[in-house]
Structure 1
Amino acid sequence: MKYIRKFSSPESFEDWKRRHPGADWHEFSLPHNAPVKDDLADSLRREQGRICCYCEKRLSRRRSHIEHIKPRSVFPDSTLKYSNLAASCNGGPTRQNACCGHKKGAWYSPRFVSPYDRSCEHRFLVTAAGEIAPRNPKDISAAETIRRLGLNTPDLCAMRRTVYDVLIELKSTLPPERFQEHIEQSLLPDGNGLFEPFWSTIEYVGTMLTLDGLEIPDELPAPRKTKKRKRRW
């Protein structure tokens, strides 16, 4: 998960709020407010380098939505706070590939690892199979976040695996200095402010391949089987 550095809120959005004190999301989403809402959505996509706030897929206008980090049904006072808004992808086309904002829904927990938390970039690892896992096996918050956001859908794992395979091939063909330079360049926004999709995969796998003696896990460990305790009567 990539840490998101917030921009200033769009003036059109702040002006609308000043002119509509006490308004809610339903009122903001009415058709005649579409230009302001579009401006807001575009600002969120731009500040994220046009990658999803959770899975880091490439975002487009049609395949993304405005996400409330703290759901508006639970935190109504944060509904129109720019600091609580992000741009999420719409997930996959099937239930099996549901993820990110639509998967999360109205769930929230103080243990949720948010892309606005500076530590988020160091809480997850990527396996050679393209799966996401907590870097610290005891990090319950990271594990719950992965599950609630559906970050290990078949589609997402396949796309991260492709990124992994490309990096492995580059590692085998480029001199070490060139490979490290490529990784560093890939983590920067391009001339249009776009970040590479699956930024965190590039950062984690690239770092692991650059440093000697570090191995990328092939896949997630199988879940432990818990022994059933005998009842004492």
Structure 2
Amino acid sequence: MIELIHNLHVPPALQAFVAANPAAQPADFDSAAFQPVKRQVKSSLHADQGGLCAYCETELAADGGQIDHIKPKSGSHAHSHLAFTYSNYAHSCINEKTCGQRKKAGLLPIEPGPGCNLEFSLTVDGQLEPMPDLTRQRKHAVRQTRDMLGLQNAALVRERQQWIEVVIELMRHEPALVPAFLADKPFRHILRQLSA
């Protein structure tokens, strides 16, 4: 996952919508009136996330994907009071096997944010596993998060493995270049574990 830090400046269109619609309900998020706001929010999230899906870290077009509620706005784990809260949004790819589409209205044990990858171990073959020294409970949280988001999807694992091979090769020959190389690449948050 990306170590998401939301911009402190909430998009003006979102501020205006919330001010004009103080009684807005989660269903209003999908209303025609909110669509222009969504475009501005998506653009802002895209910048906050460095052009990556918040969950799988693959590249995402500024106008692609969807806005996902990190804490769901509806369902059995609903945080409906956060339906229009910018810091509860993530720009996510649209793939029924991974990310927000797979998570649906689930509540993630580990959310995208600073330090979110510290408990994940990246194997050389692209798998995500819990760090070995974690408690049983924390290992479960890592596995549950990984599985809820479909981060062990075969296509994602293969793509991560390809990037791992590139990073390992660069570490062998030009280790000082690794941080600059990773600066704008997919999977850069989780790949930083290799150079740590």
Same fold (TM over 0.5): yes
Match of 1:162 in 2: 162
Go from structure 1 to structure 2 and tell me whether the alpha carbon gap of 1:15 and 1:62 turns closer, same or farther (over 3 Å shift).
closer
Go from structure 1 to structure 2 and tell me whether the alpha carbon gap of 1:25 and 1:42 turns closer, same or farther (over 3 Å shift).
farther
Query: How do 1:22-101 residues align onto structure 2 when only pairs under 5 Å count?
Result: 22-61=23-62, 63-73=64-74, 74-91=78-95, 98-101=97-100
Deviations 1:99-137 (A, max 9, x none): 11110111115xx10113x33131111111111111135
Q: CA deviation at 1:36?
A: 1.7
Q: CA deviation at 1:16?
A: 1.2
Amino acid at match of 2:102: K
Equivalent position SS for 2:42: helix
Contact 1:55-1:100 within 8 A present in 2 as well: yes
Contact 2:39-2:63 within 8 A present in 1 as well: no
Does residue 152 of structure 2 align to residue 196 of structure 1? no
Amino acid at match of 1:159: E
Query: How do 1:1-233 residues align onto structure 2 when only pairs under 5 Å count?
Result: 1-7=1-7, 8-61=9-62, 63-73=64-74, 74-91=78-95, 98-108=97-107, 112-116=109-113, 118-136=114-132, 138=136, 139-172=139-172, 174=173, 178-179=174-175, 181-188=176-183, 195-207=184-196
Contact 2:42-2:66 within 8 A present in 1 as well: yes
Distance 1:127 1:147 in 2: 16
Contact 1:51-1:58 within 8 A present in 2 as well: yes
How many equivalent pairs are there? 188
Match of 1:222 in 2: none
Q: CA deviation at 1:32?
A: 4.2
Equivalent position SS for 1:125: strand
Q: CA deviation at 1:61?
A: 4.1
Moved over 3 A (4+): none
Equivalent position SS for 2:66: strand
Distance 2:65 2:168 in 1: 31
| Higher mean C-alpha deviation, range 74-83 or range 30-39 | 30-39
Distance 1:187 1:70 in 2: 29
| Higher mean C-alpha deviation, range 77-86 or range 31-40 | 31-40
Could you say which structure has the larger radius of gyration? Answer: 1
Distance 2:18 2:190 in 1: 38
Amino acid at match of 1:80: F
Distance 1:168 1:187 in 2: 12
Q: Any gaps of 5 or more consecutive residues in structure 1? A: 189-194, 208-233
TM-score with structure 1 setting the length:
0.75
Distance 1:79 1:26 in 2: 9
Deviations 1:173-199 (A, max 9, x none): x2xxx31x22221344xxxxxx32101
Contact 2:26-2:80 within 8 A present in 1 as well: no
TM-score with structure 2 setting the length:
0.88
